[in-house]
C-alpha cells in the first residue's frame, strides 16, 4: 500500500509542469513523507499539515522556477511553527509570498488528485480578475504588470508559474471563485478579458466568476483563501494577503496562514475574510464547506 501511494504521488508530481522535482534526494524525502502519512492516525490533522509542509519544502528545494529559495523556506518554516507569517514592506516581498502561494496550490492540487483531499474550494479576492487567469501559460506576462515590476525577472516568474499552477489546480478538480468588484473586469485589457473568458468556458464546473455589487475591494482583503477537507473530514485552510501584480505598493502588509481550522490564528484569518465577503455579497464558502461561525 505504501509503494502504491508513493508511485501515484511521484507520477502526479512529475506531471505538474510548473514545479520540476526530479532529484534522487527528493525521492528519498518523498518516500519518508508517504510512509509518515500511511501510518498517521486519521484523527491527527496536525500531522497531515506537517506532511503537506514537508512536500511544500521539497517542491521549493528542487524547483527550477523558484528564486530566493532561502527566503521561501524560512517562510514555510514559520508556518510550521506558528501557522502564520506576517510582514510589512514593499513589493519586493512578492517573490517569496507568491512563490509560496503557488507551491501550496500545486501541493493541494496533487493531494486532491491522490484522493487525500476530498474537497478543495478556493476564493481569489482581488480588485480585478486574478492575474494568472488573464495570461496563458508560457507566454510573456510583462503586459500584465505594473511598469515597476515588468523588468524584474523574479517577479515575472511568480506570475508565469502561477498561470500554470492555477490551471493545474482546476484540471485536478479544485473549485475556484474569482471575486472582484464592479468595473474590475473592464480594468483588464481586451486580450486579458478574452483569455479570462476562455478559461471560464474551459472550466465551467470548477471556475466561477463573482462580481461584487460595489466598485471597491477593501485593500486589507486583497489575496486568496482556500478551505480543504481530508478523508477523515478534518478541515484545513490556507490564506494569503498580497497585492496584485498590476497594483504594487511601497508599504503594505503581506501575510500567509496555513493549518487546521482548530488553529486560533488560522480560524481568525478565515472568519475575517469570509465575514467581509458575506457583508459584500460574495460567495458563502463557509456554508459550502460546513464551517460554522463560533
Given this model, what pLDDT does residue 294 score?
A: 66
Q: Is the pLDDT of residue 23 over 70?
A: no
Tally of CA atoms within 13 A in the half-sphere of 174 that contains its CB: 32
DSSP assignments along 3-69, one per residue: HHHHHHHHHHHHH-TTS----HHHHHHHHHHHHHHHTS-TT-HHHHHHHHHHHHHHHHHH-SS--SH
Residues 108-148 pLDDT 10s:
988 888 889 999 999 999 999 999 999 988 766 566 656 66
Q: Where is pLDDT greater, at 16 or 206? A: 206
pLDDT at position 158 is 54
- With respect to residue 195, please indicate whether it lies within any of the assigned structural domains: yes
| CA pair distance 264, 276, nearest whole angstrom | 18
Residue 155 is predicted with a pLDDT of: 58
Number of domains composing the chain:
1
The answer to whether residue 37 is domain-embedded is no
Is position 160 within any domain?
Answer: yes
Span 203-231, mean pLDDT? 95
Instruction: Give me the CATH number covering residue 144.
Output: 3.30.870
Q: How far is CA 106 from CA 78, 80, 103, in A?
A: 19, 18, 5
Residue 49 lies in a domain: no
Angle among Cα 235, 123, 143 to the nearest 5 degrees reads: 140
User: What is residue 54's predicted lDDT score, i.e. its pLDDT?
Assistant: 92
- Give residue 67's pLDDT: 75
Higher pLDDT: 248 or 254? It is 254
Quote the domain boundaries for residue 236: 84-288
| Per-residue pLDDT, 88 | 86
pLDDT for position 11: 42
Indicate yes or no: pTM above 0.85. no
- In angstroms, rounded to a whole number, what is the distance separating the alpha carbons of residues 255 and 189? 29
- The average pLDDT across 70-98 equals 88
What is the structure's pLDDT at 170? 93
Residue pLDDT, tens place only, 144-200: 656 665 566 555 545 456 888 899 899 888 999 999 999 999 999 999 999 999 999
* Residue 62 falls inside a structural domain: no
Q: Is residue 227 part of a domain?
A: yes
pLDDT tens-place string over residues 24-72: 333 344 444 444 444 443 458 999 999 999 999 988 887 777 778 899 9
Has residue 66 been placed in a domain? no
pLDDT for res 292: 86
At 248, is the pLDDT very low, low, confident or very high (cuts 50, 70, 90)? Answer: low
* pLDDT given at position 161: 67
For residue 79, the model assigns a pLDDT of 96
Confidence of residue 211 (pLDDT cuts 50, 70, 90): very high
Q: DSSP string covering the chain, please?
A: -HHHHHHHHHHHHHH-TTS----HHHHHHHHHHHHHHHTS-TT-HHHHHHHHHHHHHHHHHH-SS--SHHHHHHHHHHHHHHSEEEEEE-GGGHHHHHHHHHHHHHHHHHHHHTTSEEEEEEEEE-SSS-GGGGS-TTS--GGGS-HHHHT-HHHHHHHHHHHHHHHHHHHTT-EEEEEEETTTGGGS-HHHHHHHHHHHHH-TTTEEEEEESSS---GGG-EEEEEEEETT--EEEEEEE---TTS--SSEEEEEEEEETTSHHHHHHHHHHHHHHHHTT---HHHHTT----
- Domain-embedded: residue 8: no
Q: Of 82, 69, 65, which Cα lies nearest the Cα of 259?
A: 82
Amino acid at each position: 500500500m505504501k509503494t502504491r501511494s508513493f508511485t501515484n504521488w511521484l507520477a502526479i508530481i512529475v506531471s505538474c509542469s510548473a514545479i520540476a522535482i526530479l532529484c534522487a534526494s527528493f525521492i528519498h524525502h518523498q518516500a519518508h513523507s508517504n510512509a509518515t502519512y500511511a501510518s498517521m492516525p486519521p484523527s491527527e490533522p496536525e500531522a497531515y499539515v506537517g506532511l503537506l509542509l514537508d512536500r511544500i519544502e521539497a517542491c521549493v528545494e528542487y524547483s527550477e522556477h523558484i528564486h530566493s529559495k532561502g527566503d521561501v523556506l524560512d517562510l514555510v518554516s514559520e508556518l510550521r511553527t506558528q501557522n502564520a507569517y506576517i510582514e510589512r514592506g514593499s513589493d519586493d516581498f512578492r517573490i517569496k509570498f507568491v512563490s509560496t502561494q503557488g507551491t501550496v496550490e500545486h501541493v493541494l492540487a496533487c493531494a486532491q488528485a491522490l484522493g487525500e483531499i476530498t474537497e478543495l474550494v478556493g476564493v481569489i479576492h482581488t480588485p480585478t480578475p486574478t492575474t494568472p487567469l488573464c495570461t496563458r501559460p508560457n507566454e510573456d506576462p510583462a503586459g500584465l504588470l505594473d511598469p515597476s515590476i515588468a523588468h524584474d525577472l523574479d517577479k515575472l516568474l511568480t506570475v508565469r508559474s502561477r498561470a500554470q499552477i492555477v490551471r493545474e489546480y482546476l484540471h485536478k478538480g479544485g473549485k475556484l471563485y474569482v471575486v472582484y468588484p464592479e468595473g474590475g473586469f473592464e480594468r483588464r485589457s481586451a486580450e486579458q478579458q478574452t483569455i479570462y473568458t476562455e478559461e471560464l468556458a474551459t472550466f465551467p464546473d470548477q471556475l466561477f466568476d463573482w462580481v461584487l455589487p460595489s466598485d471597491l475591494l477593501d485593500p486589507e482583503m486583497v489575496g486568496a483563501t482556500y478551505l480543504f477537507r481530508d478523508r477523515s473530514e478534518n478541515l484545513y485552510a490556507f490564506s494569503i494577503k498580497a497585492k496584485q501584480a498590476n497594483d504594487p505598493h511601497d508599504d503594505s502588509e503581506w501575510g500567509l496562514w496555513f493549518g487546521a481550522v482548530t488553529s486560533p490564528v488560522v480560524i481568525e484569518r478565515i472568519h475575517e475574510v469570509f465575514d467581509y465577503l458575506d457583508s459584500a455579497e460574495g460567495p458563502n464558502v463557509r456554508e459550502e464547506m460546513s464551517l460554522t461561525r463560533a
